[in-house]
Structure 1
Amino acid sequence: MSGLAPSPPDRPVIEVVAALVTGPDGRTLLVRKRGTSLFMNPGGKPEPGESHVTALCRELAEELGLVVAAGDLVRLDTIRTAAANEPGHDLVAHCFTLRLADPRHAAAAEIEEARWVDPADPDVALAPLASDHLLPWLVRGL
């Protein structure tokens, strides 16, 4: 299953890694970056030469204090969609699932707020990757 779709050649692309994090109660963890209004899946931009898995483990530790082993991440898909906070840009997100037995986390770095939400009724404004792709997969039962 691939969410990659052709895009106009004049749209700049931002490459990121993202985690579809679920807790023991079926809720999913979303974050809102400082100065923004939309909630999104945790993750970020890989550093030059960094693998997608390594980048996601680093981002989860920096942003949420989650220490995640590479083997805890399960490759889901690569998705192309509209970028949430960069008008006129597309996002190419390398997505992984992560199931946490312990839902404790601590928002840090550029994260203003982190919230566990019901994927069927998130009750927050969502970024396109979350609203159009990742949360619907959870609702359908991945």
Structure 2
Amino acid sequence: MTTPAPGGDRTGQPIRVSAVVLYRPDGHVLTVRKAGTSMFMFPGGKHHDGEHPRDTAVRELAEETGLVVPPGDLEYLGAFRTAAANEDGHELHSEVFALMRPLARNEVPEPTTEIEQLAWMDPRAARAPGGHGIAPLLTAVFPEILRRRPF
């Protein structure tokens, strides 16, 4: 599940992150645009030292959307290598997880201070609102989402 990307960080190592896919019953997935950036991506972010990728996914989801999900509710979708969306010339290694159940009525994602905008996208025909871009990771993961779509 690798998409070629130019370079890594200055040491030649990819930037390591976890990302989370959240589905609506209609199959659309949640994307976020971080403050000061132009691309939509899955909620997620960089690992803290010694942090397991699943724990990173849970932490970042809560930090970016206010949603707290038990780690056991996340299914591993795979590891993906792509170009980084907001760090030009860097490669991204993403551990991607999905919440394979619909959100409960009380689970409503809200943008936090680091998130400027939320958007639900159809992985069959993804278009970012407002003329913004779509992170390379979305393009890489959408076929896997469509293959595994739980609803």
**2:18 is the counterpart of 1:11:** no
Cα offset, 1:139, TM superposition: 3.1
Instruction: Give the whole-Å Cα distance in 2 for the aligned partners of 1:16 and 1:58.
Output: 12
TM-score with structure 1 setting the length: 0.87
Q: Report the counterpart of residue 122 of structure 1 in structure 2.
A: 126
The alignment-based identity, stated in percent, is 43
Structure 2 residues without counterparts, runs of 5 or longer: none
Instruction: Give the whole-Å Cα distance in 1 for the aligned partners of 2:44 and 2:38.
Output: 17
Cα offset, 1:40, TM superposition: 0.5
User: Which residue identity is paired with 1:92?
Assistant: H
Is the alpha carbon distance of 1:7 and 1:37 closer, same or farther for their aligned partners in structure 2, counting shifts above 3 Å? closer
Structure 1 residues without counterparts, runs of 5 or longer: none
Instruction: Give the whole-Å Cα distance in 1 for the aligned partners of 2:121 and 2:88.
Output: 26
Instruction: Give the whole-Å Cα distance in 2 for the aligned partners of 1:21 and 1:35.
Output: 23
RMSD: 1.9
Name the SS of the counterpart of 2:127 in structure 1: coil
Q: Report the counterpart of residue 113 of structure 2 in structure 1.
A: 109
Q: Report the counterpart of residue 49 of structure 1 in structure 2.
A: 50
Aligned length: 138
TM-score with structure 2 setting the length: 0.83
